[in-house]
Amino acid sequence: MFEAFKIGVKISLLNHASYGLAMLSKDFLKTEADANKLEQRLKSIKNLGLAGGLMAGVGTMGLSLLKGPLDEAKKFETEVQKFKALGLGDAVNTDAVKFARGMDIMGQSARDNLVMLRDATTMMGDFEHAKEVLPTLGKMRFGIESVMGGGQGGNFERMFQDALKVSELRGALIDKATGHVDPAKFQRVIDKMTQAFVASGGLVTPSDYLAAMKTGGVSTKLMADEMFFFGLGHFMQESGGSRTGTSSMSMFQNWAMGRMSQRTAEDMSKYGLLNPAALHYGTTGHIKRVDAMGIKDADLFIQHPFKWVNQVAVPQLMAQGLTGDKLNIALAQILGIRTASNLADQFVREEKIANLYIERAQKAAGVDSLYSLGKNSLRGQELDAHAKWRNVLLELGNTILPLATLRRSPGAACFVGRRRPTEPATCRTS
């Protein structure tokens, strides 16, 4: 009887959703004795073998009245099966469903949680690690969608996958010493990407950072957080992640790794941009090789090339009497490669604007701040209401789904539809 009463309570949650459900609630949920009526009604439905008979009980429109709950239950079940397909075992599968239902993040339904949990597990290769990062990613999603709007959260599945990959490539996901997620490092990286997203008005996303790292390679991995997320982020708004990463790597190879032409090396030496101890001369007296990290203040260049260009290279060039366009031409000359020289030119021409962007991005809301803003917004409350409603539909659908999928006895076919409200459902034996 308790199960029947529980079903009745779930139905009552939908009082305002449809007239048919309201009638069921009114008919069956007045007293505990009425729970018995509901139980008997369900038994009757089962005995008749009416697949989805609970819906048929409210007339020809009955099936459509509970379409939402059934659909949500089926969608959740589909996600469960997708997770099971990973082959992690029954214990992990059970834990995954329990975790998805129990993670309480605003704007996230149980199905949302399970989808994110599966994706994080496949990307990280470890279920426990995935559970550790999921609350932060859920908050990031809700904050972006509730505050920034514009359907950004709808694209979040791709965004959060790229955010995880960027965190991994930046060495901020798994601590090598412990083999576990480093919560502080992971939070810091996710915060930076969120701040950059907010400061750029949604123009710079985790996908842009991943594109920059794919082409920028080691140059982007070695950058300080301020340079990579905010400094490089400013220039990615103009050139995109992939092209900015390519330019960064070209600059790194030429200046930091010493893969410059003889002419470039001699020009840089003339401007005082190379460490004399890193220079190797040939028999003709010309520079034949420059050691890696042979440029002046190499550590600053590795961590923050934007600062290096403006605080080291530009003063050295100005000391030679170069200003304005002549200074930019000299920069292009000592780089040679088009993409690298263009980025260096942007560093100089947009120094003030870029510095303002960096300052603004550092003050922008991170994950927790954006989440708090979203919780207090009407948009955030609306998103949360929709998520909770999907959970209600899921609970109701889980109750109805077994009835809707009852197996018919061999040799029997049952017609659950009615041509007219007064015409009973009929079954025939084949």
pLDDT per residue over 129-140, tens digit each? 999 999 999 999
Would 344 be classed as within a structural domain? yes
User: Would you state the pLDDT for residue 65?
Assistant: 56
- In the listed set 330, 359, 388, which residue is the last one of a domain according to the structure? 359
**Structural domain ending residue among the three candidates 309, 327, 359:** 359
Q: Residue 295: left (phi > 0), alpha (psi -120 to 50), or beta?
A: beta
Q: CA 257 to CA 260: how far, in whole Å?
A: 8
Structural domain ending residue among the three candidates 359, 380, 415: 359
Has residue 206 been placed in a domain? Answer: no
Residue 365 has pLDDT above 50, yes or no: yes
Indicate if 352 and 408 belong to the same structural domain.
Answer: no
In a domain, 136, yes or no: no
**Cα separations (Å) of 396 from 8, 51, 98, 293?**
9, 16, 17, 65
> For residue range 63-99, what is the model confidence (pLDDT) as tens digits?
555 677 888 888 999 999 999 999 999 999 999 999 9
Its domain, for residue 258, covers 250-359
pLDDT tens-place string over residues 386-419: 999 999 888 888 776 665 554 434 444 444 444 4
Tell me whether residue 314 is in a domain. yes
> CA-CA distance, 262 to 288, in Å (whole number)?
6
CA distances from 359 to 196, 209, 306, 365 (A): 11, 19, 14, 13
In a domain, 35, yes or no: yes
pTM higher than 0.85 for the full model? no
Same domain, 341 and 422: no
Residue showing tokens 């530009």: 314
Total number of domains in the chain: 2
Residue 380 domain-assigned?
A: no
Helix residue spans in 336-377 (DSSP H): 338-349, 351-363, 367-375
